[in-house]
């Protein structure tokens, strides 16, 4: 279900849209959709081409103005302002959470609207852009250059709320319970990726590897549900996607890996069909099991193929290509 938040009668913003949302947006009276999220920013992100095609089917204008989270530069603001002057409204802009779109609007309106009015509008829509106050005032000619100052400071700041980041936090708190620890993680769900191999082997169900992030966050840890945007090590600062700055004494960086499926020609297009699979994707691990449990399936006998996997990893310390087949065999024996 779409989460549309109005900033003004002319523009509203939203978290990530799906192609199926475009028809609903048209029924709500929107005339144009602006995508502010770069293509393939995350594995579960809908393709912009599919959203553009949906816009064409429903008679909406499609505009693509991508900005990197936490790195909204003056040219980005100028481009957004120019687009607002040309596009026919009402307009619906989206990114991962809507924060980037709201920030672009706030900064583009700085020369003509009062800073307090801008911040009230974004706050009413659910976006606290107080960290952008100095920049808005600077763009409006009301103040000097924006300063980056830590609003909050922690003993230990961890970027990434996956198994690695949370394990570090739990281990440190076990040794020193009075530590002030914070984790920066934008996701609302926690995925236990090591369990996906067992899903591919028929040992686990996929649903057993995902839990709400709030349930697994270590007790006593401050959780910032936002993406990290920039590092300022010379000031011991971390900049979040909404511009807020967090200070730290010790910084732990554990954001995980972003797999480059396009590094192998044709891999992205064939994953999930014709027996091509990978346990590195939440959606594909069950396909591994459905394919492997067929009695006719056997492991490749050629030494040149035996240890290959679909995950594009540059360096491999140990061969794990047959692990799903080994767990499949074990699951088969246990089930008779």
The strand pairing partners of 240, in sequence order, are 228
pLDDT value, residue 202? 80
pLDDT value, residue 322? 59
Report yes or no on 298 lying in a domain.
yes
CA distance 264 to 227: 28
Same domain, 29 and 131: yes
**In degrees rounded to 5, what are phi and psi of residue 331?**
-65, -40
- 229: domain range? 152-253
Report yes or no on 40 lying in a domain.
yes
CA distance 331 to 327: 6
What's the pLDDT tens digit per position in 113-171? Answer: 888 889 999 999 999 998 888 888 888 774 444 445 556 889 999 999 988 999 999 99
pLDDT value, residue 147? 46
Cα 23 to Cα 36, 98, 294: the distances in Å are: 19, 19, 41
pLDDT value, residue 58? 94
Same domain, 28 and 67: yes
- Structural domain ending residue among the three candidates 253, 284, 317: 253
Same domain, 211 and 118: no
Same domain, 266 and 248: no
CB proximity list for 100: less than 8 A, separation 6 or greater = 36, 37, 67, 69, 72, 241
Report yes or no on 58 lying in a domain.
yes
- Structural domain ending residue among the three candidates 229, 253, 277: 253
Same domain, 156 and 131: no
Report yes or no on 94 lying in a domain.
yes
Same domain, 247 and 276: no
Report yes or no on 145 lying in a domain.
no
CB proximity list for 201: less than 8 A, separation 6 or greater = 288, 289, 292, 323, 324, 325, 326, 327, 328, 330, 331
- Structural domain ending residue among the three candidates 253, 275, 290: 253
For 264, the token pair is 């192998």
Give the containing element (helix H, strand E) for 22.
Answer: helix 21-27
The ranges of the chain with pLDDT < 50 are: 142-147, 298-320
CB proximity list for 207: less than 8 A, separation 6 or greater = none
pLDDT value, residue 53? 95
pLDDT value, residue 171? 94
Same domain, 241 and 157: yes
pLDDT value, residue 294? 66
Q: Are 26 and 58 in contact (CB under 8 A)?
A: yes
The strand pairing partners of 154, in sequence order, are 248
Report yes or no on 14 lying in a domain.
yes
Q: Domain containing 218 — which CATH number?
A: 3.50.50.60
Report yes or no on 147 lying in a domain.
no
pLDDT value, residue 182? 96
CA distance 137 to 264: 47
Same domain, 32 and 109: yes
CA distance 131 to 109: 16
């Amino acid at each position: 279900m779409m989460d549309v938040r109005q900033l003004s009668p002319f523009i509203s913003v939203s978290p990530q849209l799906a192609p199926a949302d475009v028809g609903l947006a048209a029924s709500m009276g929107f005339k144009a959709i602006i995508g502010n999220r770069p293509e393939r920013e995350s594995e579960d992100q809908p393709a912009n081409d599919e959203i553009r095609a949906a816009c064409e089917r429903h008679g909406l204008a499609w505009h693509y103005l991508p900005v990197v989270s936490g790195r909204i530069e003056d040219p980005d603001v100028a481009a957004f302002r120019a687009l607002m002057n040309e596009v026919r409204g009402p307009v619906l802009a989206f990114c991962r959470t809507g924060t980037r779109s709201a920030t672009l609007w706030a900064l583009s309106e700085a020369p003509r609207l009062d800073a307090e009015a801008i911040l009230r509008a974004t706050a009413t829509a659910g976006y606290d852009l107080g960290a952008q106050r100095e920049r808005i005032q600077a763009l409006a000619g009301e103040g000097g250059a924006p300063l980056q100052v830590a609003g909050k400071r922690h003993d230990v700041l961890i970027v990434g709320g996956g198994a690695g980041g949370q394990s570090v936090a739990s281990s440190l708190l076990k040794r020193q319970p009075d530590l002030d620890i914070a984790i920066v993680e934008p996701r609302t769900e926690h995925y236990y990726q090591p369990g996906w191999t067992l899903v591919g082997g028929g040992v686990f169900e996929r649903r057993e590897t995902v839990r709400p992030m709030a349930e697994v966050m270590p007790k006593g840890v401050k959780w910032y549900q936002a993406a990290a945007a920039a590092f300022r090590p010379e000031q011991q600062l971390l900049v979040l996607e909404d511009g807020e700055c967090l200070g730290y004494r010790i910084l732990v960086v554990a954001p995980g890996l972003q797999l480059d499926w396009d590094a192998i020609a044709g891999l992205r297009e064939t994953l999930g069909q014709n027996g091509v699979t990978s346990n590195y994707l939440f959606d594909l691990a069950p396909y591994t099991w459905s394919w492997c449990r067929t009695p006719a399936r056997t492991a490749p006998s050629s030494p040149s193929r035996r240890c290959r996997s679909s995950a594009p990893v540059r360096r491999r310390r140990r061969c794990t290509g047959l692990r799903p087949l080994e767990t499949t065999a074990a699951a088969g024996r246990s089930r008779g």
